[in-house]
């Protein structure tokens, strides 16, 4: 992720390959990748909100993809959480149905629930302990936000 500000992400295939591997982005039409990385390049230097990104990606691609909207946001603002199956499960957040006519509004509400959960968890004794243990175990911990530390732990805690 350090590379994002050093290259033009809309054109740099090496960055795109790494990004896609890291976030497990696959099997999208070429037009989707072009729209996603061009928009990511345009947003560098600011911290776009999830609501803005999910709306713009829907406008650009016609696809409802809250997970990739959150990864976009979290890449530019590492204080923001990602949306994935494990985060939803561990935070007790229910995603709107893919075919729901109000899915975009529902996704925005769900993401706010995830953000609120992270804030509350990081203030809790358990959250502070998780961050403290992470810091003890990872030498480069000072380069990782507390939100990303929790993301990692939730992802590692996945089951089934």
Q: Sorting pLDDT into bands at 50, 70 and 90, what band is 159?
A: low
**What would the mean pLDDT of 122-151 be, rounded to a whole number?**
93
Q: Are 9 and 37 within 8 A, CB to CB?
A: yes
DSSP symbols for 37-75: HHHHHHHTTS---HHHHHHHHHHHHS---HHHHHHHHHH
Other C-beta atoms within 10 Å of 40: how many? 21
Confidence band, pLDDT 50/70/90 cuts, at residue 156 = confident
Print the domain residue range for 13: 2-156
Taking the C-alpha atoms of residue 145 and residue 77, their distance in angstroms, rounded to an integer, is 10
Name the packing angle between helices 66-76 and 30-43 (round to 10°).
30
Give residue 79's pLDDT.
Answer: 96
Task: Please name the helix (run of DSSP H) or strand (run of DSSP E) that holds residue 29, with its range, or none.
Answer: none
pLDDT 10s digits, 96-130: 998 999 999 999 999 999 999 999 999 999 999 99
pLDDT in tens, 50-79: 999 999 999 999 999 999 999 999 999 999
Rounded CA gap, 96 and 104, in Å? 8
- Cα 23–Cα 27–Cα 29 angle in degrees, nearest 5: 115
Domain tally, the chain: 1
Tokens representing residue 43 in the block: 């947003």
Q: State residue 97 phi and psi, 5-degree precision.
A: -65, 145
């Amino acid at each position: 992720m350090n590379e994002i500000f050093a290259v033009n992400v809309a054109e740099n295939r090496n960055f795109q390959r790494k990004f896609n591997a890291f976030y497990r982005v696959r099997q999208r039409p070429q037009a989707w990748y072009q729209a996603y990385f061009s928009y990511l390049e345009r947003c560098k230097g600011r911290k776009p909100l999830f609501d803005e990104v999910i709306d713009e990606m829907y406008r650009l691609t016609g696809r409802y993809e809250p997970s990739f909207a959150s990864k976009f946001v979290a890449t530019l603002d590492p204080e923001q959480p990602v949306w994935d199956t494990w985060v939803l499960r561990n935070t007790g957040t229910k995603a709107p149905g893919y075919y729901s006519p109000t899915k975009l509004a529902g996704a925005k509400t769900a993401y706010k629930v995830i953000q609120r959960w992270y804030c509350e968890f990081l203030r809790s004794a358990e959250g502070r302990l998780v961050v403290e243990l992470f810091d003890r175990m990872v030498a480069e911990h000072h380069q990782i936000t507390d939100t990303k530390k929790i993301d990692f732990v939730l992802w590692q805690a996945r089951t089934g």
